[in-house]
Amino acid sequence: MCSSRRRFLSSVAAGLAVCALPARARELPVVKLAFIDPLTGPFAAVGQNQLQSWQFVADRVNRGNTAGVKFEIVPFDNKGAVQDTINAFQAAVDQGIRYVLQGDGSGAALALSKAVSRHNTRHPGKEVVYLNYAAVDPALTGSDCSFWHFALQPSVPMTLQAMTDDIRNRPQIKRVYLIEQDYSFGHQVAKYAREMLALKRPDVQIVGEDFVALGQVKDFSPYIAKVQAARADCIITANWGPDLTLLIKAAQQSGLKADLYTFYASSLGAPSEIGPHDAGRVKLVYYSNPNLPGVLQSLEQGFRDKYKQDFSVPVTYTGLALLTAAMTKARSIEPLKVAQAMEGLTFHTFNGEVTLRAADHQLLQPIYLSSWQPVSKANPYDVENTGYTFALERTYPPDKTTLPAQCTMQRPLTTLVYPVQPPKITASKVSGSD
Amino acid sequence: MDTLLLSTLNGLSYSLLLLLLVSGLTLIFSLLGVLNFAHGSFYMLGAYLAWQSGQWLGFWGGLLLAPLGVALLAGGFEIAVLRRLRPQGHLPELLATFALGVVLVEAARLLWGSAAVPYAIPAALQGRLFRLGGLDFATYRGFVMAVALAALGLSWLLLRYSRIGLIVQAALTHARMVAALGHDVAAVQTAVFAAGAALSGLAGAVGAPLLVTEPDMAASMGVLLFAVLLIGGLGSLRGAVVGALVVGELQTLAVAVNGSLADVLLHLGWAAPAAWPARDGLLASLLHLDVARAAALLPYVLLLIVLVLRPQGLTRALGSDEAL
Amino acid sequence: MTSAAKPLRPGSGLSFAALVLLPLALPLHTAAFSLLSQLASAWLLLLSLGLLLTRSGLLSFGQALFSGLAAYAAAHAMNAIAAHGWPLPFALVPLYAAVFAAAVALAVGPLCVRRSGLSFAMTTLSLGVLVALLAPMLQGFFGGEGGVAADRTAGPAWFGLDLLSQRQVYGVSAAYVLLGAALLRRFDASRLGLLARAVRDNPLRAACSGIAPRRVRLGVLLLSAALAGLSGGLQTLHFEQVSAGALSLQQSGLALLFSLAAGSGTVWGALLAAVMMVGSEVWLAAVSQAWMLDVALAFLAVVLWAPQGVSQAVHELALRLRASGQPDLLWGLAALLLCAALAVGGAGSLIELLYALRQQLHGGGLLRLYGLQLQPDSADVWFGAAQLTVTAGSLAAVVGRRLSRQLRDVEVPR
């Protein structure tokens, strides 16, 4: 009699506890992420697509993750300008947001990185973490590196490692032409390309190097004429925006036979401009490929259904995967602890197991070489409804492309002064395919 | 040599596109005295209208409808806004066209989005006309040149030999007399504004498949147009031809020149500047700047030179009100 | 737009100074002081444009050349002072920037001032565009893509001024605003000021009287460039970062646009222009995606109904109202303003609905407008906004016409 009553009481208690659990589950801590990128102005199209990507991935991750948090993306428009970036950062800080996302433009990235460092130095206890998801200037993880900045895309030298590796394995390429945009990014690409090719294929000649004023050139045919006159076998270009699409169009119209190694042929709108022509000539060296199996396929399908555009920024998924893994490890959402947890963290994302190197906060991930080909069974994803796709040719694991870190950063002292908020509920793992 | 010839031909097609744009601008300035800051936006609008109506009526339908649509809009704006501002002087009209330009760009963003639309060369015009120096001269470039020459030839014939053309020519210099003779000068002004806009719309419709069709094309073309206009000389069609040819060929052929000022100085015997490291200091960087890198800047350098030495432009005589 | 400078009322200078210094006495938030600092810098830039236009009749399309280059010079100066440890407070850096900008004007000015009117405008345009395009290519002075960074707290702290707080930065900005106002007043009363107006009105006659028009224009350009340089220096102090955007054509164009719209030849006109410019770029842009369209439409409205500039139109209106001696007209004015505000609100809502509809095509949701949650695809909302715009707009037109008829024939004592 006593034991059955005890058993009855304990079962009632358990039932009550179970009823109470969902109530606490509803109150997951909300982590606000400030998205600072152009939403109006000449770069609005890319910025809006990036914002939608972040919001889409946040919705997915909010269904359940190991850290037990909910992400909220708060957009700020920086119009692509540095001063507006700093204003937007101030506005985000005034709203109490502790995490900042930015990627469009290394100029804004460098300015933001400095602004974040200054803010964190002047206001200890109110630190902000900056996730840079697209700017790839090597100074961000090199001479201007900062403890609070985390780079999620491969830097310029890493991408060029993959590119020059492919050239090394193609003996038919003997003459290379460089066409870059005339600012520090383009000059760095040219410099690293020369150095790496000299090391890997001393027999390859750089037969020409041209810098084009940013966004000014309408007619690329004289550059194509120079490439032809130099009898180049391939062009290496890190151009983006109309500088890339106009170059490719001019090459197509002139019937140029050289291959084109690009950084940004998969950016929003570029595949449509390339069109269903020129199979095999345009090559893409990027941290992603639209035909990768796994969670990327469901993300692409879901994004297309919702927004009628291609999911061209999969690094957003990596960013939230990183944050949830770090918050799980740190058992906290405080930026300082999360930043410390992110250093050296290995986690799983759409392109496999990746590591965030502690020395310079650079994410080390695979880099893929693809070429523009008609859709096939092996590569079925139709990019921007052109009937063509980026066919995966080669995968470069991180150890093949990574260079030694060139950063000496000041790290804040580790002290456990912040209140630790462990997650109450551990739901299932980060949502995979559903 | 072959590549140079091909480059010159490509430059010529680019020049003719510029000429189509600038001729409309100079026409509007000659008669109305207004520098039309919305001209780049008319160019953009022509491209978008051509693409959109091309979705329903095919490329040729789009090519026909685009200039008409732009002309209608421009004519409406002239009647509604510019006519009201005419008594106030040229500056308010200029500002009104500037505001219209921005409104058109934002409207295009609203209607078609901020991303580029895939306005491509139609299948009938793809391919090459001939091969020179191992490269193709695209058929479509020849088509652009033909359209530009035809449109300009037609406009010139109209101005020269038709009745309305004579009235326009008279109104350019003696507007009051023409009005006293009973002609509706205001209507003529509206017609000329619409015609200039139509030329710009046609340039957009025919040139955009070669370039990129996005809202930003208005701003990027806009400033270059003023450079071309002023180099040739404001208000003169001959000046527009000279300006367009000079700027188009300069931008195209300068790309082939790989030397810099430091190299020139070296040739002349002064070796010191060549040793200055290109990274330090403003002067050293400028000296080492290749002409090929500066190709996109050359129109503005030329504009500066022309404005300082010959502000009336290369083809015009100095007006009496411009002496001081 | 090229109106003569009106004689200032004796008290207006003091009231302006009081207004500028007032925020320093109030316990405002950091964000407020940040906005005020940007206002101060914009005020100086817009005043420089207004000065050039009203005193000399010259339209400058490339003012960002002076303010941008001065901003870079200020950043380099701050870095040099911090690196070498020179005993120069950063509060004086904007003065160095002003001198730098004046030096630039001295170098390129002779090219610009040979002719006035369109020639001057186009020469400044081409110079501005040239330097803006060269900046990313020349990395020595202009830094790489990130531009040049500076730390405003790294300088020597004189009188406790370490420029850490935004309040101190605004204090420095306010001082320079007062300096600019004083310079303007001094200029108007000076010989150069009188000569400038003479050359503006009739250069041929001035030349015949023995005045060299180019020299006079160059003098005005130098002062204008110095003010623009102060603006650039203050911007560097506030943002601690200069990039190629400071030289861009968009910067020049927007500044000129607001200068012309508000009529920034006077300190109050420049204040109105600064409020409009910073308000659009910082506040409106944060609130609405349609900010550029709104600014362009508002500009079109100003050109149509107040082509001399808003401050001039307001001044005229005030004069006429006072001279008419009919206090009832004030009610008419109030009614006009109310109807106009409602019409603007309705039109703005329509624009926001249009943008929300486009957003909906890409999976958007509800639209939040004036604190209300609206469904962008419901016909009622559209109808309501359209009705509001049309009714309020027509009422405003009717009231406006009656008011202008009443005021047109009023004799205004000059």
| Structural domain of B201 | 2-214
Q: Is C163 left (phi over 0), alpha (psi -120 to 50) or beta?
A: left
Number of H helices, E strands in chain A: 13, 15
A209 touches chain B (CB under 8 A): no
DSSP state letters, A144-169: T--TTEEE-S--HHHHHHHHHHHHHT
**B269 within a domain of the structure (yes/no):** no
pLDDT of residue B257: 82
Residues A273, A59: Cα–Cα separation, whole Å: 31
- C355 Cβ under 8 Å from any chain A Cβ: no
Interface check for B81 against chain C (CB to CB < 8 A): the answer is yes
- Side-chain-facing half-sphere of A216: CA atoms under 13 Å: 27
Bridge partners of residue A355, in order along the sequence: A346, A364
Interchain pair C243, A106: CB under 8 A: no
Specify whether the CB–CB gap between A228 and B256 falls below 8 A. no
A36 DSSP β-pair partners: A76
Reported as a single tens digit per residue, the pLDDT across C202-255 is: 989 999 999 999 999 999 999 999 999 999 999 999 999 999 889 999 899 999
Interface residue A123 vs chain C (CB under 8 A): no
The DSSP secondary structure of C10-33, one letter per residue, reads HHHHHHHHHHHHHHHHS---HHHH
Report if residue B238 sits inside a domain: no
| Mean pLDDT value across residues C87-114 | 94
What residues form DSSP beta bridges with A370? A284, A392
Report if residue B168 sits inside a domain. yes
Whether B105 maps to a domain, the answer reads yes
A87: which chain C residues are within 8 Å (Cβ-Cβ)? 34, 38, 282
pTM to 2 decimals? 0.89
Cα gap A59→B154, rounded to integer Å: 59
Strand, coil or helix: what is C373?
A: strand
* Positions of chain B with pLDDT under 70: 272-281, 316-324
Q: Please report the residues numbered 200 through 239 in chain A whose beta carbons come closer than 8 angstroms to any beta carbon of chain C.
A: 211, 213-214, 216
Q: Calculate the alpha carbon distances from C50 to A258, C1, C201, C263, C385 in Å.
A: 55, 9, 16, 7, 37
Option in A86, A111, A118 nearest C146 (CB): A111
Cross-chain residue pair A115–C147, CB shorter than 8 Å: no
Using the predicted structure, report yes or no on whether residue C277 has a pLDDT greater than 90: yes
> Quick one: pLDDT band at residue C110, thresholds 50, 70, 90?
very high
Nearest to C114 among B88, B96, B308 (CB): B308
Instruction: Measure the CA–CA gap between A217 and A3, rounded to whole angstroms.
Output: 87
Tokens found for residue C116: 């006035």
Residue among B219, B255, B296 whose CB faces A226 most closely: B255
Helix ranges restricted to H, A331-397 = 335-342
Best of C145, C278, C292, C293 to substitute, by most chain A Cβ atoms within 10 angstroms, is: C145
The answer to whether the beta carbons of residues B101 and B218 sit under 8 Å apart is yes
Which whole-number Å values give the CA distances from A330 to A324, A420, B167, in the listed order?
Answer: 10, 9, 82
Is the confidence at residue A413, as pLDDT, over 80? no
Give how far B54 is from chain A: nearest CA, Å.
17
Query: Which run of H or E residues covers position A33?
Result: strand A30-37
Quick one: pLDDT at residue A278? 81
Distance CA A399, CA C387 (A): 65
Within 8 A of C236 by CB-CB distance, chain A residues are none
DSSP assignments along C186-209, one per residue: HHHHSHHHHHHHHHHH-HHHHHHT
**Lowest mean pLDDT across A92-106, C176-190, C308-322, C374-388:** C374-388
Q: Which residues pair with A130 in a beta bridge?
A: A100, A149
> What end-to-end distance do the CA atoms of chain B give, in Å?
47
Closest CA to B11 of B301, B239, B238, B295: B295
Q: Would you state the pLDDT for residue C220?
A: 96
Residue B79 inside a domain? The answer is yes
pLDDT of residue B104: 96
Q: Which amino acid is at B159?
A: L
Give Dmax (Cα) for chain C. Answer: 71
What is the count of structural domains for chain B? Answer: 1
Average pLDDT over residues A346-371: 94
pLDDT above 50 (res A417): no
pLDDT range class, residue C369, cuts 50, 70, 90: confident
A430 has pLDDT over 50: no
A110 touches chain C (CB under 8 A): yes
Cβ of A225 within 8 Å of Cβ of B292? The answer is no
Is residue B261 a part of any domain in this protein? no
What distance in Å separates the CA atoms of residue B41 and residue B99, rounded to the nearest whole number? 11
Return d(Cα A86, Cα A92) in angstroms, integer.
10
Let me know if residue B296 belongs to a domain. Answer: no
**Average pLDDT of C160-184?**
92
Tell how far CA B101 is from the center of its chain.
15
- The per-residue pLDDT for range A64-122, each reduced to its tens digit, is 888 899 999 999 999 888 889 999 999 999 999 999 999 988 889 999 999 999 999 88
Q: How confident is the model over A37-61, as pLDDT tens digits?
A: 999 888 888 999 999 999 999 999 9
Q: Are the CB atoms for A356 and A344 separated by under 8 Å?
A: yes
**Six-digit token pair at B306?**
């022309």
**CB-closest option in C30, C145, C151 to A107:** C145
How far does the CA of residue A184 sit from the closest CA of chain C (Å)? 5
Please state, in angstroms and rounded to a whole number, the distance separating the CA atoms of residues C320 and C44: 30
Is residue B73 included in any domain, yes or no?
Answer: yes
Contact B251 A249 (CB under 8 A): no
Contacts of A267 (CB under 8 A, 6+ apart): A46, A240, A241, A244, A312
